[in-house]
Structure 1
Amino acid sequence: MSRTIYLSPPDVGPLEESYVLAALRSGWVAPVGPDLDAFERDVAERVGTRGAVAVSSGTAALHLALLGVGVGPGDVVVVPTLTFVATANAVRYTGARPVFVDCDPRTGNLDVDLVAQLLRRLRAHGHRVGAVVPVDMFGSCADYAALLPVCAEAEVPVVEDAAEALGSSHGGRPAGSFGRIGAFSFNGNKIMTTSGGGMLVSDDLTLLARARHLATQAREPTPHYEHRDVGYNYRLSNLLAALGRAQLVRLDGMIARRRQLRDHYAKLFAPAPGVELIGAEDAGSNCWLTCVRVDSDRSGWRATELAAHLAARNIETRPVWKPMHRQPVYAGAESVLTGAADALFTDGLALPSGSALNEGQIGRVLGAIDEFLTARAGAPTA
């Protein structure tokens, strides 16, 4: 049986090996060292912010970001319902509660009109809104041109969850730079990886200094161990930072590879009625995941049928994020819904998108999809 083709596996090679080996031989193997410092500088330069703090995960970055802007018990935080659970969990870590907002059906990103309405209602009822946390979905930035003025008028800070969007842009401005503070993830399936890891970026150096302090168990600068705050063991190791530095060197090439794959999908699905790529019109996307939405009334088949066809051929797919308001852990949470996220969960499918896929693997995926489309909808064979 042929080997499994995964959705978005790590893309690492000789350059990463050389960077990690050099870091190992240097003796800097703990969460401190020259590669860690350099990685922070490199990411800040890439994003265009004054500084950055490398941490152990994207979730840790979100947690520290929320604490940094003052979110705490009793606060409300506006979160997209279409997101990975970490976005909501980080809110709960602070003692605040998430209020979920539906998405734009075209992009999967936060519905800005709903956010504006919600902020007015929450303020009218005396709730303190600690932050709005937009998520740059599948590598496409939220509509910050519309969102930032809404949040500024309500005097609510924006914490940008750019976990999926390093290398993306909106209006020529890099993902991660739009809010008071932004958070990236370097998990193994992301656009680039440090195995596990994350990064905070901001122009507010005081906020970043506080995050760095809390990420190192809030240890005070004394000869002995002294702690005035409850801190966290959140710093990234120097070894993993070395891996990240090598990945950052290759980032543009990895994004180009994913964009090329998205173009292949666009051409393949173009003749198929009722099928469209989510956010395909966003030229600034890093194309982290290519996702299709299937209108079964027009296509004559469902996304789940394509997923089953590919699974039988050892090709991994995944539904888009199950909305937070449908998650058992957040049952009963306040939500502002239009049905858009539910529809995307039902009709959407993420396809293999990794930059590590070779030509043979890409051909195998495209061939399997073409076989399915030909059988179901009479699409011509490529």
Structure 2
Amino acid sequence: MQRPILLSTPHMSGREQVYVKEAFDTNWISPLGANVTAMEEQIKAYTNANAACLTSSGTAAIHLALRLLEVGVGDTVFCASFTFIASANPIKYLGADIVFIDSEPETWNMSPQALARALRDAKEQNKLPKAVIVVHLYGQSAKMDEIVAICKQYGVPVIEDAAESLGSTYKGQQTGTFGDFGIYSFNGNKIITTSGGGALVAKDPAMIEKAVFLATQAREQAPYYQHEEIGYNYRMSNVSAGIGRGQMEVLAERVAARQDVYQYYERHLGDVDGITMMPKLSDTMSNHWLTAITLDVKDLHLSPYVVMAKMKAANIETRLLWKPLHLQPVFADVIFYFHDTRQQAVCEQLFEKGICLPSGSNLTEMELQYVSETLCHVLGEELNVAVV
């Protein structure tokens, strides 16, 4: 029986144990220590960010960015709808309102057209948002030149949720470094992992200094525990950062491996009737964290759910694309701006027909062949035709 082929599993190099052992040998197990400092320097060097703060999760990093922008009750934050809920939850932590923005077809990310309309309306209502959260989905960069220019026109800060796109570039620049703040995730399924964790980067080092302060319970400089504002326990542990140091050393290799996975699927599935690969925007380089495809549901006469069930029966894990947040029951009353008001939302169309394929950097060519052949067989079986 074919062993399970999972969507995206951790891929250790062996170097991680060296730094974890160092943490144990020096007894620095707390959220401080040489590993934390060193990994923050690695992130700065790799991304060319001005400053970085390691956090307990990518969600915590978004929360800190919003807090640094003084988001609170009565404020509004614009956020991409086509993303994991962690992009939006921190907005509600702070009691602010959300406006969701549709995707556009070329990147599946935030639509500059919809964003421009939303900001224009907000300006007319004298209620500009405190921030815009743009997401780089599955490793593909959003159209950052357009988005940053639109936000700059209205004086609105940009937070880049680059949780899925560490190692991806837009016009040669690392994602996460275009906005006022950028966040990365090191969750177990990401391109590199610390088991759980994240990072906040910023253009202004003073903002990161304040983030570190807030992330360590906002303890003031005093000979006793003095607290003058609310803080959080958001710093990454020195042990987890040890894993991260080893992972950062092989990040370029992991990016290359994920790109190879995408290219394999592109060669073997790109011309199969009924399958369309996630688009690649010119002047960008995606880390292809997950390889995503859409299925021609009308012509195939089947849903992604059927395809996923048949792939699961073959011991292959697949996943639907993100359910748009404006369709989530918890956000039922949130305003949503369409890419094109004359058509169904782009992100809704993608959700209805898209799936993610196994994309781990540790997949073998034999496993990729099995996934590709199985998917072709599933589609051919449903179409009742022979797939060559």
Q: Which TM-score band (shorter chain)?
A: over 0.9
Counterpart of 1:362 in 2: which secondary structure? helix
Contact persistence 1:32–1:238 (CA under 8 A): yes
User: Aligned residue for 1:368?
Assistant: 374
Contact persistence 1:373–1:379 (CA under 8 A): no
Contact persistence 1:272–1:379 (CA under 8 A): no
Contact persistence 2:14–2:246 (CA under 8 A): no
Cα distance between partner residues in 1 of 2:109 and 2:359: 19
Indicate whether 1:325 and 2:342 are aligned. Answer: no
Task: Map 1:239-278; keep pairs closer than 5 Å.
Answer: 239-278=239-278
Counterpart of 1:107 in 2: which secondary structure? coil
TM-score normalised by the chain length of structure 1: 0.96
User: Aligned residue for 1:218?
Assistant: 218
User: Aligned residue for 1:285?
Assistant: 286
Task: Map 1:341-360; keep pairs closer than 5 Å.
Answer: 341-360=347-366
- 1:235-262 CA-to-partner distances (Å, cap 9, x unmatched) read 0001111111111111111111111111
TM-score normalised by the chain length of structure 2: 0.94
User: Aligned residue for 1:307?
Assistant: 308
Counterpart of 1:350 in 2: which secondary structure? strand
Gap regions ≥5 residues in structure 1:
none
1:380 Cα deviation after fit: 4.2
User: Aligned residue for 2:341?
Assistant: none
Gap regions ≥5 residues in structure 2:
339-343
Letter in 2 for 1:334: I
- What is the identity percentage for the equivalent residue pairs of Structure 1 and Structure 2? 39
- 1:73-101 CA-to-partner distances (Å, cap 9, x unmatched) read 21111101111101110111122111001
Counterpart of 1:30 in 2: which secondary structure? coil
User: Aligned residue for 1:335?
Assistant: 336
Indicate whether 1:161 and 2:167 are aligned. Answer: no
Counterpart of 1:160 in 2: which secondary structure? strand
Cα distance between partner residues in 2 of 1:353 and 1:379: 26
Count of aligned positions: 381
Contact persistence 2:3–2:315 (CA under 8 A): yes
Cα distance between partner residues in 2 of 1:24 and 1:369: 46
1:363 Cα deviation after fit: 2.9
- 1:307-334 CA-to-partner distances (Å, cap 9, x unmatched) read 1221101111110111111111111111
1:162 Cα deviation after fit: 0.6
Counterpart of 2:320 in 1: which secondary structure? coil
Contact persistence 2:377–2:387 (CA under 8 A): no
- 1:207-247 CA-to-partner distances (Å, cap 9, x unmatched) read 11111000000001112111001000000001111111111
User: Aligned residue for 1:90?
Assistant: 90
Task: Map 1:102-251; keep pairs closer than 5 Å.
Answer: 102-251=102-251
Cα distance between partner residues in 2 of 1:135 and 1:190: 15
Root-mean-square deviation over aligned CA pairs: 1.5
Counterpart of 1:153 in 2: which secondary structure? helix
Letter in 2 for 1:17: Q
User: Aligned residue for 2:37?
Assistant: 37
- 1:274-313 CA-to-partner distances (Å, cap 9, x unmatched) read 3211134565100001110112223444322321221101
Counterpart of 1:46 in 2: which secondary structure? helix
Counterpart of 1:14 in 2: which secondary structure? coil
- 1:10-49 CA-to-partner distances (Å, cap 9, x unmatched) read 1114222222222222211110001100100110111111
Counterpart of 2:182 in 1: which secondary structure? strand
Cα distance between partner residues in 1 of 2:35 and 2:159: 26
